[in-house]
Amino acid sequence: MEYACSIFKIIDDPSSFEYNAIIRGYVKDMNSKEALFTFLEMLEKGVDPDNFTYPILLKAITQLSAIGEGTQIHGQILKKGFVEDVLVQNSLINMYGRCGKIRHSCVAFEQMAKKSIASWSALIGSHANLGMWDECLRLFREMNNDNAWRAEESILVSVLSSCTHLGALDLGRCTHGYLLRNLSGFNVAVETSLIDMYIKCGSIDKGLSLFRKMRLKNEMSYSVIISGLAHHGRGKEALETFEKMLEEGLKPDDIIYVGVLNACSHDGLVEEGLKYFKKMREHGIVPAIQHYGCIVDLMGRAGMVDRAFETIKSMPMKPNDIIWRSLLTSCKIHQNVEIAEVAAKSLLHTHSQNASDFLMMSNVYAQAKRWEDVSYIRTQMARLRVPQVPGSSLVEVRRKVYKFVSSDQSHPNSQDIYEMLHQMEWQLRFEGYFPDTSQIFLDVDEEEKRQRLNTHSQKLAIAFSLIHTSQGDRIRIVRNVRMCSDCHGYTKLISRIYEREIIVRDRNRFHHFRDGACSCRDYW
């Protein structure tokens, strides 16, 4: 760029062509501020922007998330009469979407007289970028209703991401079929997105099958499969895959090492985890805070709470909220009140305002029967107005995703669901099931505790699935919080009674329930 700029400066009377070239160069070089300054210079010298100038400029604004400047440029586009240009319109859709102004993005799309596949791609990509997964799938269906459009790879990657986050395996399979019918071959990015989708929708074996069939594997595809095996509790396979990657001459990066250390943590492979943590430096990687987080989690899960705490104190950087939260979780599991209090106080200093931190500390005190401290924590939550996100469960039935929250009665089939719950509970009693009320940390009677447990979102999702799926069908559930011990034991028994495989993805990992057992071996 330095040499390009020196040439540009000696041009006596640069036209829009030369200005576009230099602005494009700055944007490509991720120097968007200089791109905007060059555009201002262009205007000051009386050089009129053309339909090629604005798409480049809007890309610079997107990189800076400068929505104010983007709105001003939109005004210029209207004045200059370029609003009907398809390339400019697509850039506007993308700019507004990437800057979080999705309503403006939709308006820009709706105003287009002759929409293109690129404009659909920009709109769907904008929704995916903001995590609006349901809307992303709705737009894809709308696009498909008009047979004039054939989805390009970027759209399908966004759709696959939506299926991945929603745990919508059937929709993901349909997208895979669409890819097979409409594309002659897949590039590494699409193949990796497919693998990621299958893994995160609970179909680890299908993901592994696609990975093994890949003709060309890169660091990203290895990262996805190693991380996937880790979260499915197949730590030893993840480590074997990592060693194979090294044999093939691929160099691991810091992200891959996070997957490797997570694999050790989820399987309780303490010695292996410490060995790989030391091995990072052999590959020129200095451990970052996320790697220390994995080590703290590894030790904490294994009951080495004191050692995990010592590791935090010896870290070369300041611990963040994730590190302290990991330690607090370990303290809750292994009932270490003293270190839990240190972790909780440290979390308050990070100003994370996470409801789970307060609830976890409340639970630690409740386990120790320190009810006054429980009351104090709850009062603090109310005083600070800490927002609580209710626990929820997503389940896909007949290519549609349904959401349940605890004690949910909003579903049209609520009566049938609760009748099914009653039937399940009746059968569970013959199996010796008794609710694990130790996880209800409130000073209330046992009957109220059992009532709260009976209507957890995961149980409602299972009941709904048993009603609306065929015998032998797998049930796949995505949770937004960690599974409680009662839901874990409950689901193990249900898998045996109803002869179903139930796959649950919670905030930490996957649980595969089959024949009364779980893949996590009760270590999670």
46-66 pLDDT, tens digit each = 999 998 999 999 999 999 989
Burial zone of 397 (CB within 10 Å; 0-12 exposed, 13-18 middle, 19+ buried): middle
How far are the Cα atoms of 128, 295, 334, 344 from residue 302, in angstroms, in the given order?
37, 11, 9, 20
Nearest residue to 479 via CA among 453, 507, 517 = 507
Average per-residue pLDDT for the chain: 88
Average pLDDT over residues 460-483: 93
**Comparing 10-24, 105-119, 252-266, which segment has the lowest mean pLDDT?**
105-119
| Rounded (10°) angle between helices 457-468 and 485-497 | 20
Q: In what order do the strands lie in the sheet with 475-479?
A: 400-405, 392-397, 475-479, 502-505, 510-514, 517-518
Instruction: Give the list of residues 6+ apart from residue 325 with CB closer than 8 angstroms, or none.
Output: 343, 347, 352, 354, 356, 357, 360
Q: Is the pLDDT of residue 288 over 90?
A: yes
| Rounded (10°) angle between helices 86-98 and 117-129 | 10
Predicted pLDDT of residue 437: 65
Asked if residues 512 and 483 have their Cβ atoms less than 8 Å apart, the reply is no
> Amino acid identity, residue 467?
I
Asked if residues 350 and 320 have their Cβ atoms less than 8 Å apart, the reply is yes
Rounded CA separation 98/308 (Å): 39
Question: For tokens 């099958």, what's the residue?
Answer: 209
Long-range contacts of 29-33 (CB under 8 A, 24+ apart): 29/1, 30/63, 31/1, 32/60, 32/61, 32/63, 32/64, 33/64
Residues in the chain: 524
Predicted pLDDT of residue 438: 62
Decide which of 36 and 354 is more confident.
36
Coil, helix or strand at residue 447: helix
**Comparing 118-122, 232-236, 289-293, 323-327, which segment has the lowest mean pLDDT?**
118-122
Phi first, then psi: give them for residue 56, nearest 5 degrees.
-65, -45
Rounded CA separation 123/138 (Å): 12
Asked if residues 210 and 198 have their Cβ atoms less than 8 Å apart, the reply is yes
Q: pTM (2 decimals)? A: 0.78
Half-sphere exposure of 321 (CA within 13 A, CB side): 12
How far are the Cα atoms of 315, 323, 393 from residue 309, in angstroms, in the given order?
10, 10, 33
- B/e letters for 199-220, b = 16+ CB within 10 Å, e = fewer, are bbbbbbebbbebbeebeebeeb
Asked if residues 273 and 240 have their Cβ atoms less than 8 Å apart, the reply is no
- Cα Rg of the chain (Å, integer): 27
**Comparing 72-86, 223-237, 493-507, which segment has the lowest mean pLDDT?**
72-86
Percentage of the chain lying above the pLDDT 70 cut: 96
Predicted pLDDT of residue 40: 92
Alpha-helix residue ranges (DSSP H) falling in 232-334: 235-247, 254-267, 270-279, 289-301, 305-313, 321-334
∠102-103-108 over CA atoms, to 5°? 95
Predicted pLDDT of residue 448: 61
Average pLDDT over residues 86-109: 89
Instruction: Give the list of residues 6+ apart from residue 400 with CB closer than 8 angstroms, or none.
Output: none
CA dihedral 397, 401, 405, 407 (to 10 degrees): -40
Predicted pLDDT of residue 521: 86
- DSSP symbols for 198-261: HHHTT-HHHHHHHHHH-SS--HHHHHHHHHHHHHTT-HHHHHHHHHHHHHTTPPP-HHHHHHHH
Q: Work out the pLDDT band at 444, boundaries 50, 70, 90.
A: low
Average pLDDT over residues 373-399: 84
- B/e letters for 351-371, b = 16+ CB within 10 Å, e = fewer, are ebebebbbbbbbbbbbbeeee
